[in-house]
Amino acid sequence: MFSPLRRMLLVSALLLPAMLMPAQTKTLRIAAAADLQPVLPTLVHNFEKSSGAKVEVSYASSATLATQILNGAPYDLFLAANLAFPQKVVAANLAEESAPVTYAQGSLVLWAHHGLFHHGLTMQSLTSPTVHRIAVANPVHAPYGAAAMAAIQSLGLKPALQPKLVFAENIAQAAQFGQSGNADCALISKTLAITKTMQQAGRFVAVPVSTYSLILQGAVVLRNASDKQPAIDFLRYLQSPAGRNLLATGGLVPPAQ
């Protein structure tokens, strides 16, 4: 039998290595809609710096990410480009919230290569014979693609534009089609249109908001998150004045109160 003193020394010896080991860095895994690709890096950098957490972001269409989550993908926070796809996660009892949290409102824009139109750029410009290919995100997978198709339909342009439409997997790919020259024009998010590469290659105008439903972007913290607190903290950061200012700089505005 060990004496009380020897027992205490033995326990201390066993605990000391663990005490000396550095605390494990928490990793926040975010599933983010493709329109956030130009916006999130600065927000992530600031959050990592202030919280000490490590953040890993996976970008894809909102539908693709929702499907991955429903199939058990190990994310902690889902930032979608609409409310419908995070609502599916809520309905599957996989979210902490009873409804998606609206963290921003997006804008749909029409982007075109420099020099393509000399007398103004409008949605009606797309009917010009000089326009051969128009990039649009898949409306089934991407909320901005659904908004683009709604705008085309609302303006009565579908019969003229349908043969010209080139569908991308997500909004970031639609922008890439335009920037690379694989499309003459693109219906994309403002977040992508204001990036340096897109502004160097072309210009954009806002699509009339009356032609499509409001693009309210929703988020949910996932119930199976390995550590919910960083996810909760990051979502709060997005809703803070500092976070909303950065989102606005990147093309997203706070949702109407």
Tokens at 180, concatenated: 């690379």
* C-alpha dihedral sign at 207, 253, 39, 172: negative
Question: What pLDDT, on the 0 to 100 scale, is given for residue 118?
Answer: 76
Q: Give the residue ranges of DSSP H helices in the chain.
A: 4-20, 40-51, 62-70, 84-91, 143-154, 158-161, 171-180, 190-193, 196-201, 228-239, 241-249
Tokens at 20, concatenated: 């000396």
How far is Cα 121 from Cα 182, in angstroms, rounded to an integer? 19
Percent of the chain with pLDDT over 70: 90
How far is Cα 234 from Cα 115, in angstroms, rounded to an integer? 42
Q: Give the residue ranges of DSSP H helices in 75-157.
A: 84-91, 143-154
The ranges of the chain with pLDDT < 50 are 1-23
| CATH class of the 27-105+214-249 domain in this structure | alpha beta
Enumerate the CATH 3.40.190.10 domain ranges in the chain, comma separated: 27-105+214-249, 106-211
What CATH number labels 106-211? Answer: 3.40.190.10
Question: What pLDDT, on the 0 to 100 scale, is given for residue 101?
Answer: 97
